[in-house]
Amino acid sequence: MARWEPNARGRLEQAALDLFSERGFEQTTTAQIAERAGLTERTFFRHYADKREVLFGGSRALEEVFVDTLGGTPETAAPIDAMASTLETVAAFFAERHEFARRRQAVIMANAELRERELIKLSSLSAALAATLRRRGVKDPAASLTAEAGIAVFKVGFERWVGENGERGLADFLRESLDELKVVAAGA
C-alpha cells in the first residue's frame, strides 16, 4: 500500500529543478529526482508520467484557468477587456511561484525540445482562447487576434516577471504589457 508522503509533488518539483539546473535536463533521470527528494521512483510515477511532466504538469490547469475565466466574462465586455480581466485572474495562479517559474524558465530555455513543447502549449492555449471568444459571439479575425494578443502579452509580461526578483507580482507585468501593446497598436 502506498505510504502518504507529505508534499511529495512539491518535493519532486524542487528536486527536479535542482538537478535540471545542476546537470541539465537530458542528464537527469527520474530515479535521481526521486532520490534527491527522499522518495521512491514509484512515488515519482504516481505523480508524474515522466521527467518532462514535472515542468509541464501545470499547463493543463493553466489552460483551464484561462478558458474558464475568459468564458465567464460578461458578453457585453469588449474582447480586450475580457482578456485583461482574464490575465488578472491568471496572474493569481502564479502567486508564490516566482522562484519555481524563474528556474523552470531557465531549464526550458536551455533545451530545444522543451522550448518547442512550451511553444506548442502556448499555441494550443491561443487556439482555446480564440474558440472561447467565438463562443462568446466574437467574430474572426477579432477572436483570433484578441487571443494572439493575450498570449503575446502573457509571454512578454511573464518573461519580464521571471527576469526580475519577484517583489512585484505577475499581474503588474501583465497589465504593463497590455498597456504597452495598446500604445504600440495606436502607433505611438
Q: Give the count of beta carbons closer than 10 Å to the beta carbon of residue 180.
A: 14
Return the C-alpha cell found at 104.
Answer: 523552470
CB of 2 to a copy of itself, least distance (A): 34
CB of 128 within 8 A of CB of 67? Answer: yes
Cell 509541464 -> residue = 56
Q: Which residues have C-beta within 8 Å of that of residue 130, sequence separation ≥ 6?
A: 140, 143, 144, 146, 147, 148
- Residue closer to a copy of itself (CB basis): 31 or 120: 120
CB of 132 to a copy of itself, least distance (A): 15
- Residue closer to a copy of itself (CB basis): 15 or 143: 143
CB of 17 to a copy of itself, least distance (A): 23
Three-state SS for 33?
helix
- Residue closer to a copy of itself (CB basis): 19 or 87: 87
CB of 75 within 8 A of CB of 132? Answer: no
CB of 54 to a copy of itself, least distance (A): 21
- Residue closer to a copy of itself (CB basis): 14 or 132: 132
Name the site residues for a copy of itself (rule: CB under 8 A): 78-81, 115-116, 119-120, 123, 140-142, 144-146, 148-149, 152-153, 155-157, 159-160, 176-177, 180-188
Could you give the residue ranges of the DSSP H alpha helices within the chain?
8-23, 30-36, 41-47, 53-56, 59-71, 79-93, 98-109, 112-135, 142-163, 170-185
Q: How many whole angstroms separate alpha carbon 188 and alpha carbon 181?
A: 10
CB of 137 to a copy of itself, least distance (A): 14
CB of 51 to a copy of itself, least distance (A): 20
- Residue closer to a copy of itself (CB basis): 128 or 156: 156
